[in-house]
């Protein structure tokens, strides 16, 4: 099984408490997800995540075909990080770390995703041609939204 990774960092003009309030609220997931994915959260969500929380949603990552994705929040250390892991969904493996660090003038937010695709090694070509591009587009959308809402530190 081939494990791929994606890392993104953005420096935002916000306090640690503002950062945590925004990122730990699972209802904000739809704000930072491109509309083209047709994200539809199907579980009732609180305003703040907690370890063990399950989030269910549908998403249409390819050919506008909806699929169910089930995520578990496996670790939470307020206000420094949380981890979500896919339990069911399009990936064979998905582990997403969200880390926050106070810096001069704001917060550094770092995403580190490790993932594997089903049907390895056949999906290695799909990763090169489709998945890597799509994940970059998702995180580009997220960065653009965050920059427009909070401002960035250059």
Model pLDDT for residues 109-143, shown as the tens digit of each residue:
999 999 999 887 778 877 888 889 999 999 999 99
Best CA proximity match to 58, nearest among 83, 85, 91, 89: 89
Q: What stretch of H or E contains 68?
A: strand 67-77
Percent of the chain with pLDDT strictly greater than 70: 100
Confidence of residue 63 (pLDDT cuts 50, 70, 90): confident
This prediction's pTM: 0.93
How far is residue 96's CA from residue 6's CA, in Å, rounded to a whole number?
A: 9
Taken in order of first residue, the domains within the chain and their CATH numbers are 4-150 (3.30.530.20)
Tokens of 149: 């809402």
Tokens of 136: 């970059």
The answer to which of 64-68, 90-94, 135-139 has the lowest mean pLDDT is 64-68
């Amino acid at each position: 099984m081939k494990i791929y990774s994606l890392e993104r960092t953005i420096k935002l003009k916000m306090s640690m408490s503002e950062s945590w309030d925004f990122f730990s609220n699972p209802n904000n997931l739809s704000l930072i997800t491109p509309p083209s994915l047709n994200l539809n959260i199907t579980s009732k969500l609180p305003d703040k995540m907690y370890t063990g929380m399950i989030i269910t949603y549908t998403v249409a990552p390819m050919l506008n075909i909806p699929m169910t994705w089930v995520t578990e929040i496996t670790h939470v250390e307020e206000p420094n990080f949380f981890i979500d892991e896919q339990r069911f969904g399009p990936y064979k493996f998905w582990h997403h770390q969200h880390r926050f660090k106070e810096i001069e003038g704001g917060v550094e937010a770092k995403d580190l995703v490790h993932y594997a695709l089903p049907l390895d090694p056949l999906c290695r070509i799909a990763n090169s041609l489709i998945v890597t591009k799509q994940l970059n587009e998702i995180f580009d959308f997220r960065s653009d939204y965050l920059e427009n809402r909070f401002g960035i530190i250059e």
